[in-house]
Every structure is written in structure tokens, then in C-alpha cells.
Structure 1
Amino acid sequence: MKLIRKQLRKILGTALVTLFLGSAVYAQENETPQLELGGALRFNYNHSSWKEGHANTGGDFGFDVFRLNAKAKYKGLNLNAEYRFYSTGFGGGMLKQGWVGYDFSENSELQFGLTQVPFGLTTYNSNSWFFSLNYYVGLEDDHDMGVKYSTKQGNWDIDLAFFKNAEELRFGGNTDVDPGRYSYDLGSIADADGNMTYRNREVNQFNAKFAYNIGEGSVTQQIGASGEFGGIYNLDTQKTGSRYALAGHYRLKAGKFGLNAAATYYKMNPNNAEGQDDRLVAMVAYGAAYMVAAEATTYTIGASYSVPVDWDPISNLTFYNDFGYMNKAVSDFTDSYMNVTGVMVTSGSVYTYIDYAMGKNQPWLGNEWTHGLGVGNPDAEWEARFNINIGYYF
């Protein structure tokens, strides 16, 4: 682990020094200030099989999120920020991403701040509104605080990054991670008496991603591999454990058809307090926490097919199915499953996701919230959620 970290530091440091020295000419070519503002307003309807109230009322329909986006560019410097306003029950206001970047050339960029972690298929490893199973263990569309270098070299896409920690919202040496965040990170969870337990933090994470692109035009493929190595600092024991994740991923785009596939292995070695199982960690997002197995392999696959239509105002229908399986390393734990079948309806600036999502030991798709992705329940049954998300994007 130490050797890998040293090599990544050396590679990243050499690349940055070289590119800083050779980038002055390119930066001067873009001297016209550019500013782009946008956002979205989304509403959500859901009917869940495990909620007795929904059987009587026909489900819930309400506010999902209002978000604001800002992008700016001047003399090679870039700004990209997105702030989201959720309801109080889903974590309230939160910065999804916010970084300052610098273009070394047309194909190379450095990002500094709260930026997306280069791991697995990016930007998303899924087609549906629910994302894939990887999202719920912090391995899809994750955003952390650090620096990332991205470059395109021929058919290769290369990303190298260092993240000091996840989003820091409560500055202090012994403060629990604030659960009001967009992407899942290690954190703390309250026990039956309200005491915080499994009090971990993500620290000093290195990422490397290499993807090879094949083909042009209507048929393209991407084959890639990702690695993630970092520390786990426990607030109670004041000891730092380790964690790592490895993934192989594949993407195909053939005309109207798309295919995503990934296999991901992760292992976390926390130094939890006495009496707290080192085979488990707590993860937090959207204002709440749940338990996750510290070691598992996930398999995800998603297929989509786009159908242009002329049903004014509807211009396109994208049908998809995303499946995910989480194989937990501990034999006494029960595995988790997730499948989403749906269609995205495009109507000008309005995008509507109509999903039928099913889950087994998946916190968001059933009543196994706290332990679904952790120990799991061997008696858990498949539960279903019919969901419609309507968003106007501007």
C-alpha cells in the first residue's frame, strides 16, 4: 500500500510540474470570459410496496430538488459548481460539486476542490434515476475534496487524483461527518440510545483510472480499469485503518443501443471502537446513515435503447434496465440485489424518468434500511417502488 501511494505521488507530481511549465501559451488563447448559468426543478411521485400508507393513499407526490449550476471560463481557468436544495428530510441544502480548474491544453485539465472521484464508469454507471448499486456504497458519482488531473492521450483517457477527505462540513478534529451530503461517504451512526458509533472518516485517498477508447462515429467502446486507495480514521480509537477498491468496466454505444458493465471489489479495514464490528462501516448521505459490509464485490450491468418519436412535445424515449448484485465477503451476511426497469421521456427541456425499481436488502428499496447493505436479512423479500421523476432543466 505504501509503495503504491509513493508511486502515485511521484507520477502525479511529475505530470503537474511538466504541464505547468508548458501550458502558458495555451492559457492565453482563451481570453474571452465565459459564464453559463443553469439548473433544474424536479418533482417526484413514488408508490412503495413496503409502505402500508401508500396502499391506502396511492403513493406520494412532492418536491424533489431545486438546483443551481454555474460554469465559467477565462484564460484557461474554469469554474464548475452545483448546489442543490432538497427538503429537510433529505438533507436540506448541499454542494454536489464545486471546483476550480485549469486547462493545460485542449486535452488536459487540473481540477481542485469538490470534484468527481475518477472511479468506474463516469459520469454514471447507470441509466435510471436510481443509479446503480455502486452509488449506495460510495463508488458511483462520488465527489470528494482534493485535486484531479485528467488527460486524453490518443485513445487513452487517464485520470490521477488525490483527495484529502470527503466533503468537510463540520471542521474540527473530533466531529462526526455531517450526513447532509449528495454522495455516500464513511460517517457515524447512532445506536439505540442515541450515542454515535462507527465514527469513521475518509482520509488521504489516491485514485487512478485508465480507459481505452475503441471506434468512432455510431459505434464506440470503452474498456477501463480503476484503483482507489485511502485511509479510514476512527474518531474514538484515533487510529487509521485502510481501504481500497478495484474495478474493471466496459461501455458500448452502437447507434441507439447502449451497454454498461462493471465488476468492482472493495475492502475496508477500519479500527472501530471496542465492541463495534470491524466487518461493518457506517455510510451517510441525504441526512441519514446506514450500515455497509466492509468487504464485498459488486456486479452491475445496464442496457438502454433510444427511440426517437414525433409526439409533440415528446421527442425521444430511452428504454433501459439496470441490474446490480452485491456479494458480501462474510458468509454470514446476506447479499443485496437491485433491478430497475424504466424509460426516460424527453420533452424539450423536461426529462421524465418512469421507473419500476425492485430491491432485496437495498435500503432505498425495502424496509431493511439500517442493515440491508450490512449484515442483511436472510428473510428479506423483494420489494418494489414505482417512481416518476419529472424535471425541468434550464
Structure 2
Amino acid sequence: MRHPLPRRTALLLWPLLAAPLLAAFALPAAAVQVTDNLDLGGAIRGRLDYDPDRDLSKLGFDTFFLTATYDSDSWIGAAKYRFYGKHYPFDYTDEVGDVSFAEYAWLGYKFDAERQLQAGLIPVPFGLQPYYGSTFFETLGSVIGLEDAQDIGIKYQQKNADWDLQAAWFAMPAEQGHGTSRGGTTYGTGVATADAYVVDGSDNHEENIFVARLARHFQLGDWASEAGVSALTSTLENQDTGGDGDRRAFAVHYLGQNGPWSVQVLAARQQMSPDNPGSDRLVTFGSFDGTFNVAARGNLYVADLSYALPGQYGWLSGVKLYANYSRFAKDASGFADSERFIAGSSFTLGPLWIALEWLHGKHDPYIGGGSYTQSLGAGGSERWENQLYSNIGYYF
């Protein structure tokens, strides 16, 4: 997601390298320039999941996606569409493409070098941007709908050397793509219609989403720094009761860079008051062709430390080491807090971008095979679970 890659030779090497190599970091594609303004690109990735406690050892296809970017003196735009299926964790489907959806698709107008307006399926400007740390797997913020989320609407952005202001109104979340889930066939996680397998699931539709983010750039001793605040408010329309609830979220963040060292911290509060027919302590969210419950009220804490090794070592370059901890502390009595710790490394090996991560989670729907549908609600496995996650990608 952060560096372009070479275009040609790895495509021929892909069948040989997909098996032994590990995790690909999702970076901007080294796109093919079609015109002076339009670039087309994409990527193909494989993944490895290893967890001996679950007798899990899977190696196979991860995703294929296509990208387009347009940039002229006045007009800008970008789109990205992803294809999944057939291989773990989508091995319940028959073919690649049985699960597919847009990540983003928007057009924009530049008023000048500092100000622009975007419209379409746009990344939500909340908290650290574009991600809450250095990891490929992302933090618990991504599964409670705050990190790496996309909605449909308009966004105004104004940036200069000192300030970064973004304000957006979204009419609705991303449209459902192609898959098996009633409400979770999207890339970014958002409020969703629960699938039948979600006990105590809800059916809320989010609308009129207002988001604002203001960040200040400054020097703190030797640290090039950014500090910011974010706020989100929306309406939750319950499809069973016909009544409206609401969602509120607030965050403060800090990012510091000192040579090869980088530190990122974030604290956020999410508070939802759904008009569910039953309990208001849970709201169903969904993404990646699945739905699960999330505690309606809680605090998110994230801390990330990374170190970038200088230099190049033969084919190996861009080595970055990192550790990231996130915690979702829930308000409801009897609900267990969710925690996630990730230690890993990302690097370039020849024409490939690679990442390898050790996942360590508790009450985490994506680590350890606990309760996928309830871990972010009342809780799942009471013990810390571990998994090795890796993926490799060639970007063209």
C-alpha cells in the first residue's frame, strides 16, 4: 500500500515463487501508463496461514485486483476492484471471483494545489491515515468500522505544510458486491444486515454519515510530528423496528518520525445507540463476505512502533520491522475486551513486496478460530491465540 514495484519479470516467476515466499504488503501498483493522465494496474497475491493449534496449514491464492488512477491539472480519480474465492478463507466457494467487490471508486476536482473535492466510494477520513499502523493485517480498528473504511458520498480536502483538513458527508456505506453474505460483501467493515448464523444479530442501515478530521504537522525536537482529532456521527435505521438510532465516534492521534524510527498512537471512542428489537448492546457489522456482532460502546487504543533498515542487500531492500498493539475495551458488563498484537516485517525481494507477521489475539474474530460472530461482542476464546500469517504479491 505504500511503494511502487517493478512491472515485468515477476509475472513469469509467480508460479515458482508463490509457494515458498511469504506476505505481500498491499502497496500502490506500479501501474502501466495509458496516457499522460491515466494509469492502469493491479496485483496478484497468494497467502499462507499456519496455526498448529487448529491444524491449519493453508497455502494458496489470496486476491487479484485491478486499479485505475487519473490525474490532470484539474481532474483526479481512482478505482480499485478486488476478486476472491475458491481458496482459504473463501474455500466454501467454487471459483475465483465468487466473492468480489470494489474497494474504492471516485472522481475529484482540484481547485488548486491544496484544495480538492472528491465524490463516489471514498476512504473515510478518521484517525491515522491511511492505516492505524505499519501492519498488513491491520488493527482491531479495521473490524469495528473505523480503520480502512469506505463509504459513498463527497469529501472536501485541504492540505498544506502545516494543516490537513478533511470533511465528508456520506449518504450510505459501500454497496454490496458479489458473494454469499446478506450484508458483509464489502471490503471495508461497516454496519450490516446480519446473516442467519449470527446469534443476536441486528439489521441496521447506516446513513447520513458526517466525518471531520483535522491534523497539525509540527516539529517536536528531532521528531517530525502530526497530531490530530477526528469525529464521526451517523443515523442507524433499524429495518425491524423502523426506528432510528445513532452512531458517534471520536479519536485523537499522534504520528512521529525520527530517521528510521516511527511511532503511531491512537485513542478512539465509539458509541452506538441502535433501536434494535432486542438488546442495544450489540450492532452487527460485516465485511469480506461475513457478518459478526460488535459491542455497541467501547474504546479503541492503538500503539505502533517501527524501524526501517537503511540500504539494500542484494535483492533485499526496504526492510521494515514493526510491532503493533490494539485493544477494544467494551463498556458492557460481562463483555470481554478484545486484544490484538502483531509483530512483523515487510520488505522488497526483487520485484516482489513481502510481509511476514506473527498474529497474537484474544477475543479476536480473525485469530485463533474462536467465535467469529461474538468475539467483538461478548467475547470468544478466553486464551491468547497465535497464528503465522504471510502473503506475497506481484504488482503490475
TM exceeds 0.5?
A: yes
1:41 alignment counterpart: 44
The 8 Å contact of residues 164 and 203 in structure 1, kept in 2 or not, is answered as: yes
- Change in Cα spacing, 1:330 to 1:253, as seen in structure 2 (3 Å) is same
What's the secondary structure of 1:165's corresponding residue? Answer: strand
Aligned counterparts of 1:228 and 1:216: Cα–Cα separation in 2: 28
Aligned counterparts of 1:359 and 1:181: Cα–Cα separation in 2: 24
1:180 alignment counterpart: 185
- Change in Cα spacing, 1:164 to 1:284, as seen in structure 2 (3 Å) is same
Greater helix fraction, Structure 1 or Structure 2: 1
1:224 alignment counterpart: 228
Aligned counterparts of 1:353 and 1:291: Cα–Cα separation in 2: 29
What stretches of structure 2 of length at least 5 have no aligned partner? 1-34, 91-97
The 8 Å contact of residues 212 and 222 in structure 1, kept in 2 or not, is answered as: yes
Aligned counterparts of 1:204 and 1:269: Cα–Cα separation in 2: 15
Aligned counterparts of 2:53 and 2:153: Cα–Cα separation in 1: 40
What's the secondary structure of 1:105's corresponding residue? Answer: coil
Tell me whether 1:374 sits opposite 2:377 in the alignment.
yes
TM-superposition CA deviations, 1:270-292 (whole Å, max 9, x none): 0112xx31110111101111111
Match of 2:331 among 303, 318, 329: 329
Q: How does 1:189-268 map to 2 (within 5 A)?
A: 189-191=194-196, 197-215=201-219, 219-268=223-272
2:74 alignment counterpart: 76
Please state how far the C-alpha of 1:133 moved relative to its aligned partner: 1.1
Match of 2:307 among 301, 305, 308: 305
Please state how far the C-alpha of 1:168 moved relative to its aligned partner: 2.2
How big is the alpha-carbon RMSD for the aligned residues of Structure 1 and Structure 2? 2.1
1:147 alignment counterpart: 154
The 8 Å contact of residues 355 and 388 in structure 1, kept in 2 or not, is answered as: yes
2:121 alignment counterpart: 114
1:17 alignment counterpart: none
Match of 2:171 among 153, 164, 177: 164
What's the secondary structure of 1:223's corresponding residue? Answer: strand
Q: How does 1:84-123 map to 2 (within 5 A)?
A: 84-87=82-85, 90=90, 92-123=99-130
Aligned length, in residue pairs? 349
- Change in Cα spacing, 1:177 to 1:168, as seen in structure 2 (3 Å) is farther
The 8 Å contact of residues 176 and 186 in structure 2, kept in 1 or not, is answered as: no
Please state how far the C-alpha of 1:33 moved relative to its aligned partner: 5.1
The 8 Å contact of residues 177 and 201 in structure 1, kept in 2 or not, is answered as: no
What's the secondary structure of 2:111's corresponding residue? Answer: strand
Aligned counterparts of 1:320 and 1:36: Cα–Cα separation in 2: 31
The 8 Å contact of residues 359 and 382 in structure 1, kept in 2 or not, is answered as: yes
Please state how far the C-alpha of 1:178 moved relative to its aligned partner: 3.3
1:21 alignment counterpart: none
Supply the AA of the counterpart residue of 1:138: G
- Change in Cα spacing, 1:39 to 1:219, as seen in structure 2 (3 Å) is farther
Aligned counterparts of 1:197 and 1:252: Cα–Cα separation in 2: 40
Match of 1:361 among 346, 360, 363: 363
What stretches of structure 1 of length at least 5 have no aligned partner? 1-31, 171-175
1:26 alignment counterpart: none
Please state how far the C-alpha of 1:217 moved relative to its aligned partner: 12
The 8 Å contact of residues 280 and 292 in structure 1, kept in 2 or not, is answered as: yes
Please state how far the C-alpha of 1:353 moved relative to its aligned partner: 0.8
Supply the AA of the counterpart residue of 2:157: S
Aligned counterparts of 2:366 and 2:176: Cα–Cα separation in 1: 24
Aligned counterparts of 2:312 and 2:283: Cα–Cα separation in 1: 49
Q: Which has the higher contact order (CA 8 A, sep 6+)?
A: 2
Please state how far the C-alpha of 1:202 moved relative to its aligned partner: 1.0
The 8 Å contact of residues 49 and 383 in structure 1, kept in 2 or not, is answered as: no
Supply the AA of the counterpart residue of 1:61: L
Scaled by the length of structure 2, what TM-score is found?
Answer: 0.84
2:23 alignment counterpart: none
Supply the AA of the counterpart residue of 1:99: W
- Change in Cα spacing, 1:292 to 1:250, as seen in structure 2 (3 Å) is same
Supply the AA of the counterpart residue of 1:38: G
1:280 alignment counterpart: 282
% identical equivalent positions: 32
Tell me whether 1:60 sits opposite 2:41 in the alignment.
no
- Change in Cα spacing, 1:95 to 1:217, as seen in structure 2 (3 Å) is farther
The 8 Å contact of residues 49 and 384 in structure 1, kept in 2 or not, is answered as: no
Aligned counterparts of 1:167 and 1:291: Cα–Cα separation in 2: 19
Please state how far the C-alpha of 1:126 moved relative to its aligned partner: 1.6
Supply the AA of the counterpart residue of 2:174: E
Aligned counterparts of 2:300 and 2:52: Cα–Cα separation in 1: 25
Scaled by the length of structure 1, what TM-score is found?
Answer: 0.84
- Change in Cα spacing, 1:38 to 1:163, as seen in structure 2 (3 Å) is same
Aligned counterparts of 2:372 and 2:144: Cα–Cα separation in 1: 13
TM-superposition CA deviations, 1:189-237 (whole Å, max 9, x none): 2345x99940111110101100000139984100000000001011111
2:343 alignment counterpart: 341
Supply the AA of the counterpart residue of 1:131: E
Aligned counterparts of 2:175 and 2:64: Cα–Cα separation in 1: 22
- Change in Cα spacing, 1:217 to 1:327, as seen in structure 2 (3 Å) is closer
- Change in Cα spacing, 1:36 to 1:138, as seen in structure 2 (3 Å) is same
